[in-house]
Structure 1
Amino acid sequence: MESPVPGLDLDALTAELDERLGATDAALARHYPGARPGRQPVHTVYVPADRFHARLVEDHGATALRATEEHEGTLLDLLGPSQGDDLLARVRAKLETEPVEDLRIDLEDGYGNRPDDEEDRDALRAADELRAAVASGTAPAGTGIRFKSLEAPTRHRGVRTLALVLERLAEDGPLPRGFVVTLPKVTAVEQVEALVHAAGRLEPALGLPERSLRFEIQVETPQSILGPDGTALVARMVHASDGRCTGLHYGTYDYSAYCGIAAAQQSLEHPVADHAKAVMQAAAAGTGVRLSDGSTNVLPVGSADEVRSAWATHLRLVRRSLERGYYQGWDLHPAQLPTRFAATFAFYREGWAAAAARLRTYVERRDSGVLDEPATARALADVLLRGLDCGALAVAEVHEATGLDTRALAALAHRAGGEAG
C-alpha cells in the first residue's frame, strides 16, 4: 500500500515503533490480561473453622428459608409491591438450590487465637469435612480458608495452619475446584511475595500441580492502600503475586478501626471505605483480579423490629455495592442470605431489559438515541452474564432480547475461554 506521505516509508516507521514498544507491549499483556473468565460469586460466606461441617451449606439454606418464612411480610414490604412477590419466589428457589456460592473456612479473626493443639485439630477436621462436602456434592462452587497473617506475631501459626489444611486436602488428590486461600492484614508488598514463595515450596512438597495454589489479598490496613512512599501498594501487591492473586477483599472493620473511625460509624459506606475501595478498583482494573466488598456486622436476629432494621440495612448496602461495581460481598449469617439474593436479583432484573436492548442495537448497528462504544458494549454484555450466573436472569429471555447466546455474550464481554471461576 502506497504511503500517504511522500518520501516516508510507513512500514519502516511502524517496524521501528514495534521495536521501541515491544517490551512495553509484552509488559502490558502480562500485567493486564483482562477480565478473568468464568463466574464470579455474588458473595463469600465466612464460618469459623470449629463450626464448619460437611452439611453446612444445606444448613445455611434451611436456616435462611426459615427466616424468610418467619418474616415474609417484612421482606415483601422492604422489596416493594411492584416486584416483591417475584423476587421472593426467586430468592426461595435460590436458597433451596444454591444458598452459598463461595465459602471461606476461617482460622483468623472469626476463629480467634487458641492453643496450638486446638487449632491443629480444627484445621485438620475442617479439611476432612470439606473433602466430605466435595465428595457428597454439597460443597459450593468456591471454597477456601483464611489463615492468620504473615506479620511476625502470627506468621508461624498461619503457615502451619495453611500447611496442615493443604496436606490433608492433598492426600486424596488435587485441591477442590475453585479453592483459594485468603491472606489477611497485608501491610507490605513483601508479604505477598512471601506467600508466592511459600506456594512455590508447598506445591512440589505436597504433590500439587504447579501454580495450583491461588490466593486473595484482604485489604484491611491503610498501609495496603497508601505506602510510606505515597504509592498505592495494593497495585504493587497485585503485580507481585505472579498471577496467583484472584481477588481483593475489603475488610470493613479492621480498615475502619486502623483509620480511627469510631465503632458506631464503621460501615461499608463510610468515606474511608469508599476511598479504599476506589483505589482497589483502579488497582485491579484489567488485571483479572476480582473485587469483593466486605461485610456488615448488623445481623438480622432478635425481635421482628431488629430483623427488619438489619434486613433494610443489608438490602441498601448490597445494592450500593453493586451500583459501584463491587459485585461480590461477605455474608456472616444465614439470615443475611435472603437479602443478599433479593438485592442482587433486583439489581439485575431492573436493568437487564434496557441493557439487552442497547446491546442488540449495538450488535446490529442500528441507529438509536445512544451511540455506544465497544467498551460500553463490553459492560452491557458483562452485566447480563452476571445476571445469568447468579440466577437472576434466564438464558431464554436474554437470548430472545439480545439475539445472542452465552458464548457470544462472553466474547463481547471479553470473558470467553480460559478456566472457570
Structure 2
Amino acid sequence: MIVAIVITGLSVGGAEVMLLQLLERLDRARFQPHVFSLTTVGEIGPRIAALGIPVEALGLRTGAPNPLRLWHLARRLRAIRADVVHTWLYHADLLGSVAARWAGIRAVAWGIHHSNLDPSLNKRSTLAVARLCARLSTRWPRRIALCSEAAMRSHIAFGYDAGKMEVIPNGFDLARFQPDPQAGVRLRAELGLPDDTPLIGLVGRLDPQKNHGGFLVAMGMLHRRLPLARFVLAGRGVDPQADGITALAARSGILDACHLLGYRADMPNIMAALDVLVSSSHGEAFGNVIGEAMACGVPCVVTDVGVSAHIVGDTGLVVPAGDPAALANAVQTLIEQPATEKAHRAQAARARIAVLFEIGVVVRRYERFYEDVARA
C-alpha cells in the first residue's frame, strides 16, 4: 500500500517528530510511504530521507499558497499511485485534500495534533483554516486521527465530524529516551555548574501556548527559596539572542540562573540530565516532552491542560494553568523529596510510559488506521 504523507512542514515539532518515529517503524513490507512537505524539508526531512523514504518539498509560502504548486502535488500523488493520502496539521489537511481530489484520490485521512483553539493563543489564519476544515470534515476525509481525547473534544465542539474520529496517542522510543546518570554530569559540566546543582527544565519552542513567561515567573519565586537551583530552557527560539525571553527572565530576577540552550539535537541527554521537567503550557494536544522526560525517569510538574495530567498520572504533580505560585510549590516539592521517593517516582514514570505509550504499539495502530481508510 502506497501511503502519501502530506504535512505542513518538517521543522522540529511534536507532530513532525511523531511522524519520523512512525516512519522509522512502519512495516515497509506492507506500506510504502512517500512524504510531501508543503513548505521546506526542515530538520526532519533529511532524517526521513535517510530511511530510504522519498521526501519532496513544495516550497509554498505561508499565507499565499500557489495553485500551480498544488497542481504539481496532485500530479505527484497521481504519479506515485497513492492508495491513501494522510495529511498532518490544519493547512495540510485543507491543501492536501484539495490536491488529492484533483488527483482523483478519495482515500484521505486527516491528522490533528492540536487541542486549544482559543483565539488569544492562535493565529487568526490558523483558526480560519481550522474553521473551514470543520465545515469540510463531513465530506472530505474518510477518517480523522487525533493525538488525544482532549483534541477530539475540542474539535467536536469546533464543528468537526465526530463520527470520523479516532484517537491515536503519540508514542515514545524507550530505547532512545532512557535514564542516564551520566547525562546530568555532562550537562552540568557543559554549563559550568557543580554536580549537585538542581536542574529544572522547560523544553519547547517559543510559542504563546507554551507559556514561557509563566514558567519564568514561577521559577523566580522558587529561586528565592532555592538560590542554588538553575533553570534550563531548550527549544527553537529559546536562546540568548531572543530579546523577549531574556527580558522575561530578567524581569523575574533569574536571568543569571537561566541557561537558554535554543534548539538541541541531543534532547535525550538534556531530558535525562534534569531533576524536574516542567510543562507550564496554556494548552497542549499531547505533551511529547512530558513523555520523553518520564521515559528518562524524570518526574514532571504539568499544568492541567489537554491530556498532560493523564500522561503524568500519579508519577508527578499537576497544577492549574496560569498559577505560577502553585507551579513553584510543586517543583519545590519534587526537588526536596527524599531520595527513596525520587527513585520510586523515576521508576514509576518510565513504567507508565512503557505500558501506555510505547512507540511500537502506537505504530501498529497507525497501520490498522491506514488499512481502514483504504477499505472505507
Structure 2 length as normaliser, TM-score?
0.33
Give the number of the structure with larger relative contact order, counting CA–CA contacts within 8 Å between residues 6 or more apart. 1
The structure with the largest alpha-carbon Rg is 1
Structure 1 length as normaliser, TM-score?
0.30
Whichever structure has more helix as a proportion of its residues is 1
Whichever structure has more strand as a proportion of its residues is 2
